[in-house]
Structure 1
Amino acid sequence: MADYGTLHESKGRYLLRFERFFPYSPEEVFMVLTNPDDFKEWYPCATGEMELKVGGVIRFDDEEGTVSEAIITELDAPHTFSFQEGDELIHITLKNHDKGCHMIFTHTFDDLSWAVNTATGWHGCLEVLEQIVNGEPISWQNDVDRLMGIYSESFDKTFR
């Protein structure tokens, strides 16, 4: 089971942080992170349409009438991939670590009331990303209630 995310306050905003370790080089993990076909498998509502350059657009469609775009704000292969959708920022860094790499995934947002739901969702998405990186079949776990409880208790302690 992957490590749990943490919630932090930063400059009046909130930041969810997840860390993962992969037994692969940053180059190998970066290729999966930025491959449109892989990206749409683990990232919510991604269509697979991605212009992989700073200022490039990533398209999303929830198939319920909401279509949106994110703009790539930072792209430094194989170490940094960041993009902004509205006021929310996703920032992913990869660093060499022993015989693999250390990934830090952060999501910066404003509405604390969504922190538990968002953390629960990212937890599942990052589990699927790990499966893709490891060449395993994708298996979405159905443990939302358990994760909601864990994140609710953790964040309640943090922001009590």
Structure 2
Amino acid sequence: MSTTTTIIDGRPALQFERHLKHGREKVWLAVTDPRHLSQWYPFRVTQLEPRAGGRIAFDDGEGTVYTATITHFDPPRLFAFDEHDPDGKEREFDDHLRIELRDEGAGCLLVFTHIMADPSTADSASGGWQTCLDELEAQLETAG
């Protein structure tokens, strides 16, 4: 497992790499199926249209719905989306999340990238994503 802070397209980004013992197809299901994604992602997924241009809706459980637009959907390799501000405020950029799966022996390498709209959130986001990715790994283990 490694984490790096970098600049992508002039914006601050966190990038996490996880070496998983599970194949891309199994991990793909865990990161794109709303039922599975809801188990490790910070918010419950209430809608996911599995295609580039599709919409995702997340419920934070406290009355706020976050929306996202899928920018890349290339099974079982690349899933990326832009998260929009839940208050509808105009921001210069949306948060961009990218999950890339690469074959690696019998398993795969998961590369999770978060390009941030607000760089002041980097430290808290880093810890939060570490926890989420730990939970993803745990879910993959219990799924057999």
TM normalised by structure 2 equals: 0.86
Residue type matched to 1:32 in 2?
Answer: A
Aligned residues: 135
Q: Whose strand proportion is higher, 1 or 2?
A: 2
Aligned-residue RMSD, C-alpha: 1.7
Q: Whose helix proportion is higher, 1 or 2?
A: 1
What residue is the counterpart of 2:63 in the other structure? Answer: 65
Structure 2: state its 5+ residue gaps: 85-93
Q: Is 1:124 the counterpart of 2:122 in the alignment?
A: no
Cα drift, residue 51 of structure 1? 1.3
Contact residue 51 and residue 57 of structure 1 kept, 8 A: yes
Describe how 1:81-100 pairs up with structure 2 within 5 A: 81-86=79-84, 87-100=94-107
What residue is the counterpart of 1:134 in the other structure? Answer: 141
Distance in 2, matches of 1:82 and 1:7, equals 18
What residue is the counterpart of 2:108 in the other structure? Answer: 101
Distance in 1, matches of 2:73 and 2:2, equals 26
1:110 corresponds to which of 107, 117, 128 = 117
Distance in 2, matches of 1:112 and 1:53, equals 29
Go from structure 1 to structure 2 and tell me whether the alpha carbon gap of 1:106 and 1:64 turns closer, same or farther (over 3 Å shift).
Answer: same
Q: Which aligned segments of 4 or more residues in structure 1 are displaced greater than 3 angstroms?
A: none
Decide which structure has the larger Cα Rg and report it.
Answer: 1
